[in-house]
Amino acid sequence: MYGIIGIIVLILVLLVISFIVRKKYYKEIDKLEAWKIDIMNRPVLEELGKVKQLNMTGQTEEKFERWRKSWDEIVTVRLPDVEDYLFDIEEYTDRFHFRKAKNEQAKIEGVLRDIEEKIEGILSELSELIGSEEKNKVEIEDVQKKYKSLKKHLLIHRHTYGNAIKKLEEQIEAVAADIQKFDELTTNGDYLEARELVIGLTAQMNNLEEKVEKLPNLLTEIGTLIPSQLNEIEEGYKEMVEQGFILDHLQLEKEVVQLRKTLTTFNNYLEQTELAKVEEGVLEIKEKMEILYDLLEKEVHAKHYIQQHQNNIISIFDKLKETNQKIKEETAIVLESYQLVEGEQHIPDNFEKELSQLTKRYELLEAKLLEENSAYTLLSEDLKEIKNLMEKIEKEQQEFTEHLQTLRKDELEARDKVQELKRKIAEMRRMISKSNVPGLPNDYQAILERAMEHVQDVFVSLNEKPLNMASVQQHLNNAVDDVEHLNAKTEDLIENVVLAERVIQYGNRYRARFPHVAKGLQQAEEAFRRFEYRAALEEAATALEEVEPGALKHIEEMLDEEE
């Protein structure tokens, strides 16, 4: 019984699934039918009708026939086949032959896609043809307008184009021939070929306009302006040579000859209306001429520099030699009282040697000036270097003179400073005595003795003859460091003594009641008697804090108030 029910249920399930799948296929059939109808409604015939308005000859006629045949094939053959395939799918679906229906569906989709591509191709080519005809009308009008304008301009201004006018007129006539060819292609219905031609014509006219605009200026540059500037450079060169300038190293005449040859070549280019090479070349020629101008100008400036500074050099030499003699005398006087750093006593002699070498170098420069065989730029560079070296010597002389004068000043400052250090040590000893310090710890005693020894070293070095200020300064620095260290230790010592005494006194109130406090205070007193005041303070404070936390801070505040 249950088996029969199961079979019935299974059959029902299969039937339901089959109907669902069949419904899905019916939907796909409807989609394909809609796609077919959409294709049939494409405006191919309308677009083909637009083509009939053109000249139906030549290329246009051939393309029209090919497009019409393709569309007729689609409408009369391909789409009816699709309709038959749709009936087959519907029949397969009704009979639940879903696999066959699926295969037919794929076949129809392939056919419809192929038809779509063909239609897109037809419409695209139609659009290109019709668009070409419209663009051609607009652009050929622009070309013809420019052609007439350029031809008129050349007729009026032909004298400004020199020998290039012949080539320009040939190019203008070539444009006229292409315009005529364009008309023939359009008349014959070859709109796409005419399209290519009009694009080329537009580029030709733009190129011609550029040439017509630029040629007069370039011809003027090549034929008049640049030759005039070259003549000016050449005349300036000859005039400077007559004035005694040595300019052989510039090879200017050779460069001018080469530039004139280049101008001849450029003129030939312009006759052939080849502007690109000339435009770039003119810039290079101008740069080269600018360099030639600069070179000549530098020679003039160099001569002026020599004339301006030549006479001053002698007086500067005399001044430096005079100054050096004074430095030598002052150095000898200083050496009687002071020791100089190794090598410093020879500095005046070094100055003298450098001045002697510079004098010889300047004499050689003067000889070259008299010979008049050297370029002023080379001689001026040599003179500038001599002048810079003289300024360097002058600066070093001034610095060394200031150094000698500083020695006496440093000595007086050192004597004042060591007296100040001596007073500080005496003041610290009075503070210790006034504070009733029972005795001095060994480490403090060592610091005090070292500070006093270093202060004494300063006195000894200051009494040496001749005086070595480097040694004095070293001893003084050591003494200053030690006295500062001693001062800090003195303040710590007095503070520890006073605070240790007060803490012990304060802690005595707990001595009888707390044995451990009594023991701590006893150890603190023993350390105090050994002059170990820091240890005494720590022992007493530790013991006191155990019975009265914060007592040490309280005692410190009391001492601050007393002060």
Tell me the per-residue pLDDT of 511-533, one tens digit each, with 9 for 90 and over. Answer: 878 888 788 888 888 888 888 88
Q: Which pLDDT band, with edges at 50, 70 and 90, does 297 fall under?
A: confident
Q: What is the mean pLDDT of the segment spanning 493-521?
A: 83
Provide the pLDDT for residue 119.
67
Q: Structure tokens of 102?
A: 């699926």
Q: Which pLDDT band, with edges at 50, 70 and 90, does 13 fall under?
A: very low
Q: Which of 190, 371, 386 is nearest to 305 (CA)?
A: 386
Q: What is the mean pLDDT of the segment spanning 339-367?
A: 84
Provide the pLDDT for residue 57.
47
Q: Which helix (H) or strand (E) holds 8?
A: helix 2-40
Q: Which is more confidently placed, 431 or 72?
A: 431
Q: What is the mean pLDDT of the segment spanning 452-468?
A: 81
Provide the pLDDT for residue 395.
92
Q: Which of 378, 347, 354 is nearest to 365 (CA)?
A: 378
Q: Which of 129-143, 200-214, 473-487 bottoms out in mean pLDDT, i.e. has the lowest? A: 129-143
Q: Which of 215-229, 385-399, 400-414, 478-492 bottoms out in mean pLDDT, i.e. has the lowest? A: 400-414
Q: Which is more confidently placed, 522 or 212?
A: 522
Provide the pLDDT for residue 543.
81
Q: What is the mean pLDDT of the segment spanning 315-331?
A: 85
Q: What is the mean pLDDT of the segment spanning 283-299?
A: 87
Q: Which of 494, 419, 484, 473 is nearest to 450 (CA)?
A: 484
Q: Is the pLDDT of residue 252 over 60?
A: yes
Q: What is the mean pLDDT of the segment spanning 168-196?
A: 72
Please, which residues bridge with residue 338 across strands?
A: 467
Which amino acid type is present at position 354?
E
Percentage of the chain surpassing pLDDT 70? 72
Report phi then psi at 54, rounded to 5. Answer: -85, 175
C-alpha angle 405-406-408 in degrees, rounded to nearest 5: 80
Q: Is the pLDDT of residue 442 over 80?
A: yes
**Helix/strand/coil (H, E, C) string of 252-285?**
HHHHHHHHHHHHHHHHHHHHCCCHHHHHHHHHHH
Q: What is the mean pLDDT of the segment spanning 496-514?
A: 82
Helix (H, G, I), strand (E, B) or coil at 467: strand
Alpha carbon distance 267, 227 (integer Å): 12
Q: Is the pLDDT of residue 198 over 60?
A: yes
- Please, where are the H alpha helices in 41-57? 44-51
Report phi then psi at 438, rounded to 5. Answer: -60, -35
Q: Which pLDDT band, with edges at 50, 70 and 90, does 56 fall under?
A: very low
Q: In which residue are the tokens 């009687």 written? A: 336
CB atoms within 10 A of CB 5: 9
Provide the pLDDT for residue 15.
46
Q: Which of 328-342, 410-424, 453-467 bottoms out in mean pLDDT, i.e. has the lowest? A: 328-342
Q: How far is CA 399 from the centre of its chain?
A: 41
Q: Which is more confidently placed, 515 or 108?
A: 515
Q: What is the mean pLDDT of the segment spanning 192-220?
A: 78
Alpha carbon distance 441, 375 (integer Å): 84
465 contacts: CB under 8 Å, gap ≥ 6:
337
Q: What is the mean pLDDT of the segment spanning 436-442?
A: 85
Q: What is the mean pLDDT of the segment spanning 292-310?
A: 85
Provide the pLDDT for residue 450.
92
CB atoms within 10 A of CB 39: 18
261 contacts: CB under 8 Å, gap ≥ 6:
none
For the chain, give the mean pLDDT: 76
User: pLDDT (tens digit, 9 = 90+) per residue, 461-490?
Assistant: 877 777 677 788 888 898 889 889 989 988
Q: Which of 317, 341, 324 is nearest to 401 (CA)?
A: 324
Q: Which pLDDT band, with edges at 50, 70 and 90, does 72 fall under?
A: low
